Amino acid sequence: MTVRLGRILGLPAVCGERVVGHVERAVPDARGRRVTGFVIRRGLGSAKWADSRAVTVLGDVSLILSEKP
């Protein structure tokens, strides 16, 4: 499934029933064909890395993770 990066940026990242932050950046692989992971940030705190393998569902309204970033 192909998703535009503009639709992913800013989505809330949810792990369990808790919002752990919002997608700040999607990082592509060297060839630019796949996303290897996401930079997640909550407020003014430090950024966290969420590997693409931890993404369970990439929906229209949120990014659901199987483990905390």
What are phi and psi for residue 41, nearest 5 degrees?
A: -135, 140
43: DSSP letter: T
Give me the sign of the Cα torsion angle 53, 15, 56, 58.
negative
Q: What is the pLDDT of residue 1?
A: 59
Is beta strand 35-41 parallel, antiparallel or unpaired with respect to 12-15? unpaired
Q: How confident is the model at residue 39 (pLDDT cuts 50, 70, 90)?
A: very high
Measured distance CA(41)–CA(19) in Å, rounded:
11
- Whole-structure pTM value: 0.86
Is beta strand 12-15 parallel, antiparallel or unpaired with respect to 63-65? parallel
> Per-residue pLDDT tens for 46-66?
899 999 999 999 888 999 999
Q: What is the pLDDT of residue 33?
A: 86
